[in-house]
Amino acid sequence: MILREESGVPLAVTALSVAYRDEPVLWDVNWSVRAGSMTAVVGPNGAGKTTLLSASLGLVPRLAGDVRFWGQPFSAVRDRVAHVPQRESVDWDFPVTARDVVRMGAMRGAAWWLPGWLVPTRAGRRETERRVEDALVRVDMTELGARPIGELSGGQQQRVFLARALAQDADLVILDEPFAGVDEGTEAVLTAELRRLAEAGRTVIAVHHDLGSVARHFDDALVLDRTVRAQGPAAEALATWRGDVGAAAAGV
Amino acid sequence: MGELVAEWLRALSFGGGFNTNVVLCAAILLGVAAGTVGVFSMLRKESLVADAFAHASLAGVAAAFLVRGALTAEGSAPRSMEVLILGAGVSGSLAVGAIGWLTRNTRLTADTATAAVSSASFGLGICLLSIARRAGGAGQAGLDDLIFGSAASMTRADAWTMGILAALTLTITLVASKPLTAIAFSDRYARTTGLRVPAMEALLAALVAAVTLAGMQAVGMLLIVALLVIPPATARLWARRVPPLLALSASIGGLSAWTGTSLSAAAPNAPTGALIVLTASALFVVSLAAAPERGVIAGLLRRARLRRDANAAALRARDARGA
């Protein structure tokens, strides 16, 4: 019998390799995320950052290796994990309002797929709406809740998707490039809310492209370039990686 | 002319005799079901899959006709539309399966795969059809009914079958509307919620197939696609959320079927499918012009207002400099 012991590690990746057809994208990745931390995934373009997150969430098939969330497979804990997608992967002309998107997160759980007219309890519906409004308030989007998502600015769209993750009340929030192309106001809202999550004991993982601000925003970092180059406290991991790159350059 | 209008109004208000009314009710249900299912095809950007299914149906219909002719004794040819529709279902499903396989396993994009399979299988259908026509025999009229649609040729049993199938499709679509919306919005997100996306995709394909097959005899195999595509496109011009989009698209589908079918009941030999589709198209054109946000007129007005404001601002700036 396999013991599925609950562990305190929100995400542990062991010997993970991923390939698109016969093209390896990730090779033997070993990575462990600290509970309650804000962890950045950084690395050059094409390093496999998004693929690492997708493979962890079971959205891309694994070639080899294992991914555990609190010691369990993703399928056992999916509602405890929230995912904020990359902006480019969203259909912005879809007929939904900001509030509808947030409601998707608030309705996670056993019977989310039931149509409204089949949901029995009024209390359940009220609870859902309360969570939606709370999340909208936290990202300062209450007034724009009725707008179609396509009519929002890039920063507002990013806030809506963070609100969806907040409404889900997840223990682990995974974001793909949350700061890409957003205004300063949104960046401040995002960092404040993510920091609040971490202080409440939740774990935040984000793909991040700006090496200069990693140490300012995040506690830990994973430096990825098809395989793990460095991991640990953000400043140290970056220094290790720079050192490696420097040594390699000097060796040439 | 006046007589025709009077006749049409009578059929429209369910005054056309019991058989006509059964067909009319079934056609309205079909329109409502098609308008509802079609919304999800449109949101998934898969409207052309229904088109491919319909084009590929021809080969199955012709093949089933030939097989039926070979199996039944001379002179006893049964009417059995079901056999032909079954043939349509088989070849249509094969085509949709082939499109899915090509898209997943080759570098062809979905639109290229769809167009290639659609036209290739239609070519095959035309060949089989010409063989079927040469073979001749009884029941040739049934072939034309399926290709071009003819509500007049429907028996009461045919109408019941169509109505029940449409009602069933509609019910399943409404019950599954949340997961269908989820896979249309983002199948990545849908998968992280634990939804079986391939199963939902298969369900949507089956619903599209059910509507297409149910409506084949009344509307015709090629025109039924319009009933899946035009009402959602029309409704999208007005609605900015999924629930009103569904309600509006279903209404437009039902209204088109109602108007078109009663028109064809008033004018014998009038092509039912074409009349239904023309009604839907008329609603689309009107909406395209008049819709408040996405309509052409509203767009032109916004543009004109913007130009006026820009000119006014330029004038003010010039005056300020001059002063």
Query: pLDDT tens for residues B205-226?
Result: 999 999 999 999 889 988 999 9
Q: pLDDT value at position A3? A: 46
- Is A184 touching B (CB cutoff 8 A)? no
* Cα nearest neighbour of A108 on chain B: B193
Q: Do residues B182 and B193 touch, judged by C-beta distance below 8 A? A: yes
Of B182, B193, B245, the CB nearest to A78: B193
For residue B35, pLDDT over 90 is answered with yes
Q: In terms of C-beta density within 10 A (0-12 exposed, 13-18 middle, 19 or more buried), how is residue B128 classed?
A: buried
Please tell me the least confidently modeled range out of B27-31, B234-238, B271-275: B271-275
Of A59, A95, A100, the CB nearest to B191: A59
Where does A11-251 sit in CATH, by number?
Answer: 3.40.50.300
| pLDDT above 90 as % of chain B | 58
Q: Measuring CA to CA, how many Å separate B128 from each of B66, B92, B125, B307?
A: 8, 15, 5, 59
Of A78, A114, A148, the CB nearest to B240: A148
CB contact under 8 A, B177 and A81: no
Q: pLDDT value at position B70? A: 79
Phi, psi for B173 (deg, rounded to 5): -60, -40
Find chain A residues with C-beta within 8 A of B191's C-beta. Answer: 57-59
Of A91, A95, A118, the CB nearest to B245: A95
Domain range B2-291, its CATH number among 3.90.1150.10, 3.40.640.10, 3.20.20.20, 1.10.3470.10: 1.10.3470.10
**Predicted-complex ipTM score:** 0.85
Phi, psi for B188 (deg, rounded to 5): -65, -50
Tally Cβ neighbours within 10 Å of residue B5. 11
Q: How many CA atoms lie within 13 A of A206 on its CB side?
A: 26
In order, the DSSP letters of chain A are -------S-SEEEEEEEEEETTEEEEEEEEEEE-TT-EEEEE-STTSSHHHHHHHHTTSS--SEEEEEBTTB-HHHHGGGEEEE--GGGS-TTSS-BHHHHHHHHHT-STTTTS-GGG---HHHHHHHHHHHHHHHHHTT-GGGTTSBGGGS-HHHHHHHHHHHHHHHT-SEEEEESTTTT--HHHHHHHHHHHHHHHHTT-EEEEE---GGGHHHH-SEEEEEESEEEEEEEHHHHHHHHHHHHHHHHHH-
Q: Do residues B281 and B230 touch, judged by C-beta distance below 8 A? A: yes
Distance from CA of B170 to the nearest CA of A (A): 14
Q: Which residues of B touch A (CB under 8 A)?
A: 43, 174-179, 182, 184-186, 188-189, 191-195, 236, 239-242, 245
Opening angle at CA B70, ends B69 and B75, nearest 5: 55
Residue boundaries of the structural domains of chain A: 11-251
Find chain B residues with C-beta within 8 A of A85's C-beta. Answer: 186, 188-189
For residue B74, pLDDT over 70 is answered with no
Torsion angle of the four alpha carbons A161, A166, A172, A175, in this order, in degrees rounded to the nearest 10: 20
Q: pLDDT value at position A65? A: 93
- At B108, is the secondary structure helix, strand, or coil? coil
CB contact under 8 A, A104 and B43: no
Q: pLDDT value at position A1? A: 39
Q: pLDDT value at position A98? A: 95
Find chain B residues with C-beta within 8 A of A114's C-beta. Answer: 178
Phi, psi for A42 (deg, rounded to 5): -125, 165
Distance from CA of B199 to the nearest CA of A (A): 14
Distance from CA of B284 to the nearest CA of A (A): 18
CB contact under 8 A, B236 and A75: no
Going by C-alpha positions, the residue among A238, A226, A236 that lies closest to residue A29 is: A226
Listed as ranges, residues in chain A with pLDDT below 50 are: 1-4, 252
Tally Cβ neighbours within 10 Å of residue A235. 14
* Cα nearest neighbour of B178 on chain A: A113
CB contact under 8 A, A95 and B175: no
Q: pLDDT value at position A5? A: 55
Q: Do residues B214 and B33 touch, judged by C-beta distance below 8 A? A: yes
* Cα nearest neighbour of B244 on chain A: A95
CB contact under 8 A, A113 and B178: yes
Tokens for B239, please give them. Answer: 């609605």
Find chain A residues with C-beta within 8 A of B245's C-beta. Answer: 95
Of B174, B179, B186, the CB nearest to A113: B179
Round the average pLDDT of chain B to a whole number and report it.
Answer: 89
d(CA A151, CA A77): 34
Find chain B residues with C-beta within 8 A of A58's C-beta. Answer: 191-192
Total CB pairs under 8 A between chain A and B:
60
d(CA B103, CA B121): 17
d(CA A97, CA A101): 7
Distance from CA of A117 to the nearest CA of B (A): 9
Find chain B residues with C-beta within 8 A of A104's C-beta. Answer: 182, 189
CB contact under 8 A, A115 and B239: no
Tally Cβ neighbours within 10 Å of residue A92. 14
Q: pLDDT value at position B284? A: 96
Q: Give A 52-81 residues with CB within 8 A of chain B.
A: 54, 57-59, 75, 78-79, 81
Q: Give A 85-114 residues with CB within 8 A of chain B.
A: 85, 89-91, 94-97, 100, 104, 108, 112-114
Tokens for A145, please give them. Answer: 């809740």
Going by C-alpha positions, the residue among B130, B122, B89 that lies closest to residue B215 is: B89
Q: pLDDT value at position A199? A: 93
Tally Cβ neighbours within 10 Å of residue B285. 11
d(CA B82, CA B137): 18
For residue B253, pLDDT over 80 is answered with yes
